[in-house]
Every structure is written in C-alpha cells, then in structure tokens.
Structure 1
C-alpha cells in the first residue's frame, strides 16, 4: 500500500532539500546560492497484513525503462511470516507491480531481500537470505530469485553448501556472459567464517563457490566487476578467534575464483561502494582511523594507487559516515550521514554533497528524518539525481512498525568554475608535537575568486630536517626528536611551509571503549563502557559523560547511557565522543538461535 508523503510534516520526514545559502563561513569557500532542489515524488509503503503492517526498504536500482525497483521485506498475510518484498515503480513513482516472495521446502522458509540489480536482458535479480531448516538447527543461507520485467517469477534458489550459520547475498555483479558473482556477510558461532564468493549462471545454477580464509574470519563488504570478468573486493578480517579489531584488505579475484593479488597490510577501511571511473579505473572511498579523515582513492586493475584526494576539509566537518560515492561529470556526488552534533544543531540526518574534480565541496543539500535508516544499497543514481530507499520506524501508540520510504531527488547540473590558483598555504601556521606523536595537516590552494581547495593529498612534501620531524606522502607529520624544523608542501608550481616544534612532553590522554567490536542478537541488549586514561596513565570510567551515536540505527540502536539494542542482522558502527576525542567500534547483529521441537 502506498501513500503520499506529507511535506508539511517536517519533524516526521524532511523531504524539502534546500541549498545552504550561507556556504561554509570563516573558511573561504564559495557561498552557495540559495536554491531549492526539486523533489519529483515521494512514497511511503506500508504492509497489508491486518496486524503487522511493517515494510522495510533495503535496496533499489534504476531500470532501463526509466523506472525503479525497490526491495526489502514485510510481514506476509499468508503464511503469516516474514518474506521478501519487491515493488516496481515508473518514473513518476506510480506503482506498476508488487511481489511477495514465498518459498516452501517441506515448510515455509522465511526470507529477506537485501540487494537488487537489473540484468542485461531487462529482468530483475534479487539477493538476500533465507531460513534453511534442512540441517536440523535453522540457519540462514544465500537466497537469489529472478523476475521478469513485469514481475513474473522466473526462478528462485538458495545455496546451502557452505557451512555457515548465517550467510547472505547482499552484493551481486553481472559478468559479460550473463553469469553472476555474489557475496555478502557470513558468520559462524564457534568456527572460522571466511569471506566467500558464489558464482551462478543465468538460471541460478551454481558454477562454483569459494571461501577466502585470510585470517580467522572475514567478509567482503564491497565488490565491483573488472574488465576481465574478475572482481575487486574490499573487506575486513580478524586474525584470531577473539580478536576485536577488524582489519581492512583488498583482493583481485579472477573469473574462476582464484586470487590474483591481495593487499592485506591495509589500515584504511573502504567505507562506500567501489565505483568505476570513466578511464577504466576504480574509485574507493576510504577512512583513515588515525587522522579520522575520509578521502577518495583511485586504483587501477592491478591495485596500484593512482591518486588520493582528501575529503578532510573544514567544509566536511558534519560528516559522520559516507554511504555512497558516485562519479559525475566534472566531479563526484557523496551521499552522507551527518554527525549527531550537526543533527542536534538543527541539521537533517543526511546530506548530498557535490564535489568538483578535486573533491572540493561545491554544494550541499540537507534532508532526512532522524528515524530514517539507510544503507549503501538504498541509494541508486540516475542521470540527474538519486532514488533513495530506506526504513522509518514509526511509533503507532500501540507499538512500533517499519515503513518503506522512497524519494526521487533531482540535482541541478551545473559545472564548477575554474578560477586561477593564487597561493598555497597550510591551514595552521605552526604545529607542536611531542616525540613519537603524529598529526595530520591540511594544505589549501587559494584561488583568485577567494575559493579554497583542499589539496593535502595532491601536494608533494619535504622536511628540512627529518631527524626532528618527518612527513609522509599524505601530509601526516611525525615528531622524531626535540627541536624545530620546517615542513614544505608543493602543488602546481607553488610552495608553502609550516614550522614544527617537537618536544619531550608526555603524550596526551587516551579515550577508548571496552571493545573494538560488539556482537549481539536481534532483540537483545549490550552495554558499552567508555574509559579515559589521563597523562599520568590512570584510567577512569567516563561512560556517563560520553556521547554515543550509531551509523545505521535500522541495524542497532544505542541510547545516551551506552546501551546497544540489536534490531536486524547486519554490521554497523558506534561513534563515541568525549572531550573532543572520538572512538569508533563495529557492531555485529545476528539472528538468535531458535529451537524447534
């Protein structure tokens, strides 16, 4: 069932996306002209079950006929359990058809849809997970079904061969000959759960399935097809059974599932979808936990880094996480979630940021209700905008239910100006470090129209005395011994420098949580403890004074006291802040074990 979204209810869902007319004050960025972006249409979908009307939206894709397909799950009237839900809309947002997916194997098998693509022949392929009771104890395995362009079921299959307690199909890539490469989350209770790939043909028959035991456990969170029908995947892994630290890594895998190259010494996670660039290379959005900064990275098919472009400008301070990055003409579009502090100051939960080719913000659009949950598969692009699919949790007065929200957003097509480069400058004139301490710097290119571009990752650095302070290729400066020296940055023929004073002063205090990774079941709660170690090395518990937020509250929520509650299966992250210090930890939510007699 669909209903029009009430644009007047700003506190429920903010759908009017307004251009920030004031720009970014005090930092020299061009002030954006006041402009109203066009919301072509919006829809709320609710279920038709007489008691449980919840519908959740997880993914969407644009189709070749100008329409859209969105998927998620709902509570079916028959057989009175959870099922995958698919809805096709035309370019105006009118529903053309809806489909509930029912699968019986001796008994009805509960299922959920997490991702959707349009295939080369115009049909619809959907991936998710399904309950499999054939081994006695119920578990969840990858589930894939194919529909015609008109919504008729062509086939549906699930893949139980790999020994995981819970495994899903949440990323799908089509090869040049019409096969499909699939990956997603995998989890076991008491044994390793390596990342996996599954390859099927056009009829859903398995061609091969392989696991990649690089470490104790892992998963591929991002995947993209390469020109030779292989894939580049980004994931995370733990090295030992009880490790709380998930380490990022990159792999290139050929069409037969064999590893071509691997980069397992990575420190910066890939936070958004991997996308193709116009020149046949690949754009990654990465996060550096040491500097707490995002940046864009271009790599080629061999995994070589071609460039890095920093997103760590003062204009990006509101970003909590980047959900999706998409190249466009002469730049990029970021779909991001705002920090809790920005939301508290009256900002919306999400924003769309337009970047020029140097990754400098040129325009920003705010939108989104505080209760609107979105994932990376919930944002799809078309020529002049975005289709957003997400879930809003509604308090009905008698309980809670989910509603699927669909928004079609138009973005004006305006290219950035090309002013002349006037000077280069560090954002701060000097830097004070203690021995062994590192700090990130920002180098700005100032143009003739007073606009500023962050060129930190595009500059070339040198230290006058590396024995006192050294600098890496990304502008991170490290104090090596007491003294004073200069760090120089060069960009497009211009130079600037910063004074660095290194002392033997004690390192500042440290803020951290009691774990770097939390795991809990749906419907259960887990408390988080926050600690601060002062300059003398004495720890104190500061949970009550810390501020907590969750990247994706549709997976898990966290209250002001640090109590986590599992909502649905998935992986998200906590951000904790105390006295200006920030700490992030991952949260894994799994389905509870259900005993059947």
Structure 2
C-alpha cells in the first residue's frame, strides 16, 4: 500500500509532500517527506491575476494522486507553489519500489498550474490530469503525457470552454486516455469526460452531463465500463455515474446528502466509494451493487476534527478483495490551513 499526502511544517511555514509505503500489516516500510521547496522564480507581473488565486496558492504543496507501474515503481503527482504564491507548478516524482528517487520533474504550461490525477498506460508512460491559467479570464483543462523513462513531455492537450475547465482524475484503456473533470461558467457546473487517443492524443469522444454535477474520481471495471463518483453541487448530494466504452450512459444514481471522493471496483463488480455523509460524524464509505444500488453504509470511526475537509478520500481493492482507504485531513477542499495535516490509512476486511 502506498499513500501520498501533505504535511505542513509549522516551524518554518513550509509545505512539503509526503510519500509513505506500508506493508500488508500496515507497518511503514519507507517514507519520503524531505522534498524540495520551490524558491521564488522570476516572472512577468500579471495585473489580471486576482488576489484570491494568489492567496489560494500561497504556502501550498500537496501530492494529489499516486500510481504504480508494471515494475512496481511509484509515481506521485501534485501541485506546489513557487514565487511566494504568485506561481504554482505541476510536480511529478518517480521512485523505485524501495523508495529511491529515480527522477523528479516540474511542468509549467501555465502561470497557475494544478495537477489532480495521474495514471500509467500500457507502455509505463505517465498521464497527468489537471489544468491551469495564464490570466483570470479562463482556466483550461490539461492532460500531459510524459515518458516514464525520464519525464520528457510526449504531448500536451488542452480543453477550453467558457469559464473554468479542470480535469480531476484520469484512467487509461489500451491506447485511450479517459479524463474526468468539470467545467464552470457563472453558476453552472457541468461534469465532463473526455477521451484522448492515438499517438498524438487527439480528442476522440466526450460526455458532458449538465445540471451542476462535479466528477472527482473515475475507474474502469473488467467490462471496460467506467464508474464516476462526485457530487451534485447545489444540492450537495452523492453522485454516481456508469457509462460504457462508447460513452453510452448505463445509469446515474445519488440522493444521499454529502459527497463522494474515491471509488474502486471489486472482483464481483460491486462498487466501493468513499467520502462524506451529512449528519454523521464518522469516516464514511458505501458499498453498491453493479447497478449502483446501495447495499450498505460503512461507518469507520469518529472523525479527528469537525473541519469540512476531514473525510475519506482514496480507496483501493487488493487481490484478496480487501478494501484499503486513505484518509486525508486538510486536503483538497481547503487549499490552505493554519492547522497541521494528519493522514493515515486503514484496511477493511470484506
């Protein structure tokens, strides 16, 4: 089990990423939290950059996602500030299975950059999902394919719509890359799924679900169907979506108050999702059948804090059908905090 996260060192007000590897008994095998801090970089002043974005990104650093390639190398991707909050970079680091650094790279297609998801394709090349902006007028979704060998950029694709586009998660299927995210214009939020494919990563298909839906995580089952979890924005309800490889919708579900952030599929096709359920002061996950009907709620112990971003995030199923979950306190929703972050993992026997 490998976990990525964030720690704030209050003694010097610096944020650094953390990567921890555990064995099957939950014992730590190795960790790396001595990651480089980015120093102020020269950049042209951008008068259109709103102060809100600068404050959002000040003193911030976090690994958002993690993946393992066919050789058990570990790849983490996230967002770190540079230039005293005036600039942020996509940061990718690759380790071998023993925790030795293979390489690290930064990517700056924009002035403000966010890296939210990472996936590995059949060639062990790396796909980074996120977005960014050069001005306050638009925020573009971004997919970058980089070489697993050395981190060299193979291609980069942007997705533009009116307002904001951000990709939050990504999976691969043969030569295709399926990116999940959302777009926002005025008060409207639309879930967006884009398929990129071929040697050049051209856009091949797209699914948009209107009606204030936000997708946070996408996975693929053994039948090459895709499951998405997230939330409906205005009602703040759980949202689940399943569609096939041709982007035909199989079902949509979700009435429970709260939101879902992580999802995984079990061997029998049942779906496990993690997140937050309104009115319950415990860490939360739920089990669904393959048709999206809820089978049971899983209450996993009292929350450490009453903060709105203290919830279950990542979730995975191992070869024994056991469920591994990672809890991150002070993470994605609240980008900055004066509190130290804590994180831990738990294994649930099914």
**Could you state the TM-score of these two structures normalised by the residue count of structure 1?**
0.48
Label 1:298 to 1:80 Cα distance change in 2 as closer, same or farther (>3 A).
closer
Query: Is the Cα contact below 8 Å between 2:65 and 2:118 reproduced in 1?
Result: yes
Cα displacement string for residues 95-117 of structure 1 (whole angstroms, at most 9, x for unaligned residues): 22221243377779974322222
Name 2:98's counterpart in structure 1: 150
Label 1:74 to 1:262 Cα distance change in 2 as closer, same or farther (>3 A).
same
Label 1:321 to 1:122 Cα distance change in 2 as closer, same or farther (>3 A).
same
Any idea what SS the aligned residue of 2:217 has? Answer: coil
Deviation at 1:274, TM superposition (A): 1.3
Name 1:361's counterpart in structure 2: 294
Name 1:130's counterpart in structure 2: 80
Deviation at 1:220, TM superposition (A): 1.1
Any gaps of 5 or more consecutive residues in structure 2? 42-58, 332-336
Query: Is the Cα contact below 8 Å between 2:189 and 2:212 reproduced in 1?
Result: no
Deviation at 1:198, TM superposition (A): 1.1
Name 1:379's counterpart in structure 2: 315
1:244 is aligned, of 178, 187, 190, to: 187
Label 1:352 to 1:236 Cα distance change in 2 as closer, same or farther (>3 A).
closer
Query: Is the Cα contact below 8 Å between 1:130 and 1:158 reproduced in 2?
Result: no
1:139 partnered with 2:78: no
**Could you state the TM-score of these two structures normalised by the residue count of structure 2?**
0.78
1:197 partnered with 2:143: yes
1:120 partnered with 2:70: yes
Query: Is the Cα contact below 8 Å between 2:243 and 2:251 reproduced in 1?
Result: no
Q: Distance in 2 between matches of 1:169 and 1:286?
A: 18
Q: How many residues align?
A: 320
1:376-415 maps to which residues of 2 (within 5 A)?
A: 377-382=313-318, 383-391=321-329, 401-412=339-350
1:269-288 maps to which residues of 2 (within 5 A)?
A: 269-285=213-229
Name 1:74's counterpart in structure 2: 8
1:183 partnered with 2:119: no
Label 1:102 to 1:266 Cα distance change in 2 as closer, same or farther (>3 A).
same
Larger Rg: 1
1:254 partnered with 2:197: yes
Deviation at 1:245, TM superposition (A): 2.6
1:308 partnered with 2:251: yes
Label 1:174 to 1:110 Cα distance change in 2 as closer, same or farther (>3 A).
same
Q: Distance in 2 between matches of 1:257 and 1:354?
A: 35
Any gaps of 5 or more consecutive residues in structure 1? 1-61, 63-67, 394-398, 413-597
Deviation at 1:140, TM superposition (A): 0.4
Q: Distance in 2 between matches of 1:391 and 1:292?
A: 20
CA RMSD, Structure 1 to Structure 2 (Å): 3.3
Label 1:83 to 1:212 Cα distance change in 2 as closer, same or farther (>3 A).
same
